[in-house]
Structure 1
Amino acid sequence: MKKRTVCLMVAALAAGTLCGCSGSEKPAETTVASGAQSEAAKEDEGKKPEASEEKTVYPAGTITIYGTGQPQYLKEYFDAWLERNRDIAPEVTLEIVQNESQAKSREKITMTALAGAEDDLPDAVYIDPVNILDLAQAGLLRDETEFVSQYIDEMVEGATNDATISGKIYGLPESVRPNVLFYNQEIFDKYGVDPAQMSTFEGYVEAGRQLKEKSNGEVYLSYISPDSMTWRYWGRRGLMPQAGARIWDENGQIVLGSDEGAKKAFGMLDTLNSEGLLLKSQIMQPALYDAVNSQQVATFYIGAFWDEFLRMNCQATAGQWRVMPSPVFEEVGTAGAPVSSYFCIVNKGDNVYAGLLEQMWHDFHFDTPSRTEWVKSMESQNAPYANPISTAMLEDEFWKEPSDFYGGQSFREMEGKCLENGSPNLVVTPQDAEADEIITAELETYIAGNQTMEEAIANMDKNLKAKIGQAEIVK
């Protein structure tokens, strides 16, 4: 392994505690049919493939991909894809290794590389912008700028933004999902509360007050989780970007304690919580689903991914749910910030499956019939899937079909519309993982009732300055 790469990876270790490794051996070379330049080779050079009888034939072996959540459902698509393309991958199989978090995927990749076990590295990884930054700086992700640039005009706006570092794109866009507002129309009808007022956060609070009063305290506007998920979903992905809040200034100095946007974001959460409008319950746990099915929770201000959890766990409320754009802060005026995830090819020397992985990514996002067939299968299983990033595919009538779960509303179409007027996300830094731990600890103490929100913000600011000092702003 090159000395420069090892040094960069050592620097990445400083960004967090790293542990674990796994992988499997891969073939050392690619077999290519003789003749004209192959279709996959043209993709590798950043050119759109053209019809040709000459194709790269990939060697026998197993492609390993790191993922989180429920990757077995993505595997269904790619297994079918491989069966349809046995002319170029006659003896290629695929496994998706489920890791508990994207940070854990990053840690395993980094430690495996540091150990010099290049053959044990995965071929690709599904990962978020924070962890892309670490891996890219360590030289562990393939530069996909030339390949993906040809498709940018065909994708939803900003699809590559969060994987772009110093002008280079290190991830193939997997999904771009907005922050939205799910609400139970039946609850609002029952208590005569108008959901339209929730277009602003001021109206959102007022709706919660009305529901609390008219239900004699039996209905909560939403939830608050006594763990890290409150910062993750209410804070980093929700209120903070919508309020135009900052943790760091343009020079990496910590400003959270004095930032007006941060005060606005945390202040809104404090209002909702202190007025008893939020059910204290861990998200993605049976107790919360039970409360939803009992019509005790009226809304969720959260990412569009929540659709899959409602469909899977809350069938008792099928037909009652609707979705609308996130409320806005009137002084700011922008809707929920989109959350992007990426499919990154690991830079492991001669990654013989790089071209094949690019082809698989391309078809998943631009081959409408195969994507439609897969989504129908996901819906039949109440399994997760995201809207496509292809603007042309989004215009297909399939993505506008009404949903029985949403009372005849097209959730898929609304998800696409909710990308409009999105707020910019918080700046990503290598210090984010540590900062999240510091902020989460103070929020947990606040939620437990052991400090005020003002004290929590002051302690966040103090501890960020003491433990981090200054962030590295990567442009």
Structure 2
Amino acid sequence: MRFEKMTKVIALTGAVAMAFGLAGCGGSGSGSSASGKGGKTEILVWSWDSTLPRTVKGFEAKNPDIKVKVTNVGTNKKEYTALNNALSANKGAPDLAQVEYYALPEYATQDKLQDLSDMGASGYKSFYTPGTWNSVNLNGGVYALPMDSGPMALFYNKEVFDKAGVTEVPTTWDEYYEAAKKIKAVGSYITSDSGDAGFFDSMTWQAGAKPFATSKDGKTVTINLTGDSKVKKWDDYWQKMINEDLINTKIPGWSDDWNKGLNDGSIASLLMGAWMPYNLLSGAPDASGKWRVAQMPTWEKGGTENSENGGSSLAMIKTKDDSKSKAAYKFLEYACHNAEGIKTRVDGGAFPADNNTLKSNEFLSMTSLKDADGKDNAYFGGQKFNEVLSQAAKNVLPGYKFLPFEVYARGIYGDKMTAFTSKSATLDQGIAAWQKDLQNYAKQQGYTVKE
């Protein structure tokens, strides 16, 4: 184990933690018997991802001695609360759990995850994209395998852009600002943001910021938001967009109103992860054929800098049961490293984390999505959208680190960033308040804090 176990338990979900019933969630767990019916080894997987259950049939056909049960106990924060409760009680935890990249350091720091290095994963660096590999390779250990990835891209409604006279896709943030003014003049917003911590992380990451760090022994954290010039660079830019009413700050992401805006063109673009296409298809079906995909704008003309937005890994919960761990690793390998398993998930809508898929002709040549009825839908007007997204994955900047209590950090972000709801507040003030809270919280959890 390459992390020192903290003497004080970290509250995984902090302010967002709430009672979450585990009835019906009890499974094999780390302390239960490995044998199921017919002598099979049963493993329990917690995942909200709709593509992971698709891999079970193929895996069980190749491994008839293993039975896999995939259970959805809730999306991200709800699952983390349930997992935290199960781990604390030492009862009912799954064998494998879907964990987003930003939350992975919390579990690894607490010594709750199996280091997969000695099980064969240490040699997988070249298999995965740099962004996803860096996210699971923590302090020299491999604490999960990448399930998918979310390199940022500019998704835009070409019909609205054309109407506004934005005939060239913005390639710099200055051009994006000018496009925002033209789009506002025709009655739409170029995008929306009501205060999303994941978006903040992605945009400051793309700007080159590195405000967070954790020491190798897991005891010291650096929290330097106000002193990072690249954080300031993004905040100043976004504050200008807010001040001039060029972004919609009133509509929360993923709400019905948000989908309506994407559907009718009143929200004309998104700065979002590469997993967005199928969400657009389901959330804004009437806009089919109008949307396109481009690389993210950058700070300098000709730049390529990019970041990740979202994405998940599949992690193994620590267990002393050797047969359990071997069975769990086999499924983890199949779902995240085996070509057949990965293809099953990609065909279901997952955006790949592996380089082989990202460079395959079948993937790169896609011009349509499969709708709910299995019919082809040229949502992006016949564009080979995966060519753009595959390049976006190659452009992700290395070295960005999440806090070892990132779930808590994101949970309180919106409360501090009142600039989205009040003209008298600024993003700089919100960042300072957020930093102070994070530093105090870190000290309460037993960390030494550096600025």
Scaled by the length of structure 2, the TM-score of the pair is: 0.82
The answer to whether the Cα contact below 8 Å between 1:253 and 1:471 also exists between their aligned partners in 2 is no
* 1:32-70 per-position Cα deviation (integer Å, ceiling 9, x unaligned): xxxxxxxxxxxxxxxxxxxxxxxxx994354221223xx
2:26 pairs with one of 23, 27, 44: 23
Q: Distance in 2 between matches of 1:456 and 1:332?
A: 32
How do 1:340-355 residues align onto structure 2 when only pairs under 5 Å count? 340-350=311-321, 352-355=323-326
Return the offset for 1:467.
Answer: 4.7
Asked if 1:121 corresponds to 2:93, the answer is yes
1:380-410 superposed Cα distances (whole Å, 9 cap, x missing partner): xxxx4222x3322333222022221111112
Instruction: Give the residue type in structure 2 aligned to 1:357.
Output: A
- Please give the residue correspondences for 1:46-195 in structure 2 after superposition, counting only pairs within 5 Å: 59-60=39-40, 62-68=42-48, 71-82=49-60, 84-85=61-62, 87-89=64-66, 92-101=67-76, 103-117=77-91, 120-146=92-118, 147-195=120-168
Aligned to 2:331: 360
AA at the equivalent of 1:81? F
Query: Quick one: which amino acid aligns to residue 75 of structure 1?
Result: P
Q: Report the more deviating stretch, 15-24 or 128-137.
A: 15-24
Residues 338 and 7 of structure 1, relative CA distance in 2, 3 Å threshold: closer
Query: Structure 2: how far apart are the matches of 1:163 and 1:58?
Result: 35
Cα displacement string for residues 408-456 of structure 1 (whole angstroms, at most 9, x for unaligned residues):
1122232111112222464222243343344432213543434133433
C-alpha distance in 2 between matches for 1:373 and 1:338: 23
Written as runs of structure 1 = structure 2, the 5 A alignment for 1:8-407 is 8=6, 10-13=8-11, 16=14, 20=20, 21=22, 22-25=25-28, 28-29=33-34, 59-60=39-40, 62-68=42-48, 71-82=49-60, 84-85=61-62, 87-89=64-66, 92-101=67-76, 103-117=77-91, 120-146=92-118, 147-196=120-169, 198-213=170-185, 215=186, 218-225=187-194, 227=195, 230-233=196-199, 235-237=200-202, 239-248=203-212, 252-279=221-248, 280-330=250-300, 333-339=303-309, 340-350=311-321, 352-368=323-339, 371-372=342-343, 375-376=346-347, 378=348, 384-387=349-352, 389-400=353-364, 401-403=366-368, 404-407=378-381
Cα deviation, residue 288, structure 1: 1.4
Q: Where does the alignment leave 5 or more consecutive residues of structure 1 unmatched?
A: 32-56, 379-383
Cα distance in 2, alignment partners of residues 345 and 24 from structure 1:
14
* Distance in 2 between residues matched to 1:447 and 1:426, nearest whole Å: 29
Aligned match of 2:372:
none
Structure 2: state its 5+ residue gaps. 215-219, 369-377
Give 1:35's aligned residue. Answer: none
Secondary structure of the 2:184 match is: helix
Query: Is this contact kept in 1: 2:10–2:405, CA < 8 A?
Result: no
Give the direction of change, closer, same or farther, for the CA distance of 1:14–1:242 in structure 2 (3 Å limit): closer
Q: What is the rounded CA distance, in whole Å, between the counterparts of 2:231 and 2:149 in structure 1?
A: 24
Q: Is the 8 A contact 2:152 2:296 kept in 1?
A: yes
Identity percentage over the alignment? Answer: 19
Is the 1:429–1:471 contact (alpha carbons within 8 Å) kept by the matching residues of 2? no
Secondary structure of the 1:224 match is coil
TM-score by length of 1: 0.78
Give the Å deviation of 1:194: 2.5
Whether the aligned pair in 2 keeps the contact of 1:177 and 1:415 (CA below 8 Å) is no
Q: Which has the larger radius of gyration?
A: 1
Aligned residues of 1:128 and 1:342 also touching (Cα < 8 A): yes
Shift of 1:334: 4.7
1:449 match: secondary structure: coil
